[in-house]
Every structure is written in structure tokens, then in C-alpha cells.
Amino acid sequence: MRIIVIGAGKVGFTIAEHLIAEEHDVIIIDKNEEVVERCTGSLDALCIRGNGANAKVLLEAGVDKANIVIASTENDESNMLACLISKRLGAHYTIARIRDPEFNESQTFLQNELGIDIAINPERATALEISRLLRYPFAGSIETFVKGLVEMVEFRALESDPFVGIAMKDLASRVPRLPRILYAMVERNNTVMIPGGDFMIQPGDKVFVSGDMLTITEYFRFLGRNKQKIRSVMLLGGGRISYYLSKLIVPMGIHVSLFEINPSKARALSELLPKIDVIVGDGTDQDLLEEQGLSQMDAFVALSNRDEENLMSSLHASRSGVPKVIAKNSRMAYRDVLNDLGLDSVISPQFITSSTILRYVRARENSKGTKIERLYRLVGGKAEAIEFVARKDDAYIGIPLKKLKTRTGTLVSLIVRQGKIIVPFGNDHIEEEDHVVIISVVSGISDLNEVLYQ
């Protein structure tokens, strides 16, 4: 597809990079000459210097033939205007990055009036992901599918876990009381594997399990993982993510202490968030953190604008005995290194945003094929979880899975039929309108027919 990306900052560059990798025809527009030169030198895309909200520049980029326009500059108003003009000039579909909390309340109205098909708020999406991790502090990451009916939870295997060292095919007989969930993926030594019948999980492995919420809860209760509750959180940085996160977790009964070094910004946050403790000071100062009770906190979340500050503060919090530590990091290439240092929960707004946009792009790309409901890029992009809705006339309908061929590197993780969760085995089949969750270590899948065939 022909896709125009307006704004090539961290988010826009990441989006363009992923779209090019999936072989889309990408055109980049940015006002900054240095940014355009960097993109020209490192990306296989047409790069244009100019204002993406200028009709002349958009026409030069071929907006009238564009399948999708993605406006991802730092300025919300410019993004909205770019989408409006693009739609008027003939673009089929527009996506806008809109970050300001002021626009949240009127988002639906703005989308309808300005021709924006999808509005994405990276900071709010990041805050939502962090809030899930605080509800399940033992987890490295949590994804939900089928409107929250299905969860996929990442955790690290311990030597004491009853499934360790037992072949997958023997688990039911060897540990009959263990709740039945699906072991979707395992990451070992930075390599992601889909476990077969003979696969054995080892201590230290990162394990991804999926199932309905009740079974997942019973599973972790059986393992003894869900005893820890988060009642107090310390936040580093008073940016938008901290604002959205505080709004989400304070109603959950969690006490929030927030460090912000800028006095005027701290004062504004105190007025906007009267139920949290805002501390004016350098959140990277270890003595100050200890003075404010770091070692007594249930969780520490580093959300400053500097990755290095987040890393160092998170490592200090972890060594101070804080049970749950979450660090924001824009460089997902460092994810494995950070994991090796003991930071299992590393989140990236850029990665979350690009994953969300890729889901919409794939859905538009294959509008005549199996409908993509949800797509998550997992393990730093090494794997994907994709939720499809099965179509009536697809070739796999009604055929037992054991009689179908499955694409190498993929797994039918779950089938949801009229609200009922099915962990699929060979005799199970897919029916029309079933929600089917696929796990894949190969990227670019946009149709369930690419995974299952005769």
C-alpha cells in the first residue's frame, strides 16, 4: 500500500521502519532538514522536506493516491489539520497521533469533524499497559484479546514451578491439578520458541501463557504468584504518561508518590491530581529516593524523558528491594540487555504506537480477507499475537485442526465461540464468526488463510 508518514521523530521513524519492512510504499514528510537526511540515508523511502499540513507538499507526496496517511508530529493541531486536508485531497484513510489530555473529552467529535479515522494517544496507551502490570505485579507483560475475555501473561519460570522439566505432552498426567492453560511461547537465551509436545520449560525461561481470565487467575494462584498486591507506587517524571497512569490507578486504591524536578510543572500536577503526593526534586537522586521511602514501595515506575535516567533509577529501585520495577525505554534493541540486568518490565511508547498502527494497516491491507481484530507485537518484535474473526467461506471452516496444515512458526492459541474459550487440540475446529488468536514468530501475516490450509 501507499502510506504517507508525516513527522519522522522517534514515533514516526519507528512506524516507517516497520511499514517498510512489511514492503509498503512509504513516503515520509518532515520539516526538519537533518531528520529528512537521516531518513534518506537509513530508510528505503521517498523523503520530502516540508509541512505535512500544507496541501502543496501533500500533493507532491501523492496524497490523492495514498491508501493511508499517518500524522505523527509532536503537534496535535498539525496532525489533525494534516488529516483533514489529506482526506479532502483524496486520501482513503487517516491516522492521527493526538496526545494532549485536553482533546480526550472531545475526541469522537474531532474525529468525525476532521476526517480522522483513528486517533492514537501513545502516552495513554502506555499508561494502560503499565496499569495492567501493576494489577499483575508478577508479570513481565500482559495482553488482552476478544474484548478482555482472553489474556496472555508473560512470567519467568522458577525452579520450584511444578511444570519445570516436564514435557508438555505429559503435564496433564504428571500435574493433574494444574489448571489447563495454553503455553503459547517460551523465550530462552533471547530466542523465542513455540513449544511442542516434547518441549520442557527450564528455570529462568520467559513463559507466555494464555487462557480466559478465571483460568489464568486460578493458574497463578496454584503457582503462588498472585499473593503480592500493589498498594503504593513511586513515579519518576511528571509527563503525560504519569498523568494518565495516576488517573487510572488512584481509583484502584493505589497511593502514588511522583517526582518532578520542574517546580512549575510539579505545581500544575498537584492541581490536576490532588490525590497524589507530588515531590519537587530530582528523582534520580538515590538519597532523595530513600528519604521518601523507596525501599517501602510496592512498585517503582521510571517515566522520565531520558532513557539513561530511567535505567539507572530502575536498577537502583530493584536493588533496594522494590518488588515491581517498570522502566520506559525508547530503544527496544536494548530490551534483551535490560532483561539480563533484571528489568523484565520494559515498555516503549514508540513500540506500542507502531504495533497499534500496524494492526490498522494490516486490517486495511486485507479488507477482503479474514478480519484482524487485534494485533500485538511481542518480545520486542520477535513474535506476534493476532486475533482474527473467521469468515463463512474460508477453506478451514469446520475441518478438524489435525487435518489442516499449519504454517511453520505459528500456533492456533485460542478459539472463542460465542463467549466460550476453547484451548484447541487436534479434534477442535473453527466455525464462522469464531475469534481465533494466532501466535506467530514470523511477521507480516494478515489473513488466517495464510496460517491454516488444506
User: What cell numbers appear for 441 in the block?
Assistant: 514468530
Provide the pLDDT for residue 58.
Answer: 95
Provide the pLDDT for residue 28.
Answer: 96
- Residue by residue, pLDDT tens for the chain (454 residues) are 899 999 998 889 988 988 898 889 999 999 999 999 999 999 999 999 999 999 999 999 999 999 999 999 989 999 999 999 999 999 999 999 888 877 766 777 777 788 888 888 888 889 988 998 888 888 888 888 777 778 889 999 999 999 999 999 999 899 999 998 889 899 998 889 999 889 999 999 999 998 888 888 899 989 988 777 899 999 999 999 999 999 999 998 899 999 999 999 999 999 999 999 999 988 888 888 899 999 999 999 999 988 889 998 999 999 999 999 999 987 766 666 776 676 778 888 888 888 788 778 877 765 556 677 777 778 777 888 888 889 888 889 999 999 999 998 898 988 989 888 888 888 999 999 999 989 988 877 888 888 998 8
In CATH, 362-453 is 3.30.70.1450: yes
Classified as helix, coil or strand, 246 is helix
Provide the pLDDT for residue 353.
Answer: 83
* Separation CA 232–CA 229 (nearest Å): 9
CB–CB of 142/132 below 8 Å?
yes
* Separation CA 382–CA 193 (nearest Å): 10
* Separation CA 48–CA 30 (nearest Å): 7
Q: Where are the domains of the chain?
A: 2-120, 127-223, 232-347, 362-453
DSSP letters spanning 113-126: HHT-SEEE-HHHHH
- Checking DSSP bridges between strand 191-193 and strand 182-188, what pairing results, if any? antiparallel
Phi, psi (rounded to 5 degrees) for 2? -90, 115
In CATH, 232-347 is 3.10.100.10: no
CB–CB of 123/98 below 8 Å?
no
The reply to whether domains 2-120 and 232-347 share a CATH topology is yes
User: What cell numbers appear for 300 in the block?
Assistant: 517503582
Q: Is the pTM of this model over 0.85?
A: no
The arrangement of secondary structure in 127-223, i.e. its CATH architecture, is 2-Layer Sandwich (3.30)
Q: What is the dihedral of CA 355, 360, 361, 366, to 10 degrees?
A: 130
- 412-438 burial, b at 16+ Cβ within 10 Å, e below that, comes to bbbbbbeeebbbbeeeebbeeebbbbb
What sign for the dihedral angle of Cα 437, 438, 439, 443?
Answer: negative
In CATH, 2-120 is 3.40.50.720: yes
Starting from the edge strand earliest in sequence, which strands make up the sheet with 141-145, in order? 141-145, 150-156, 206-212, 182-188, 191-193
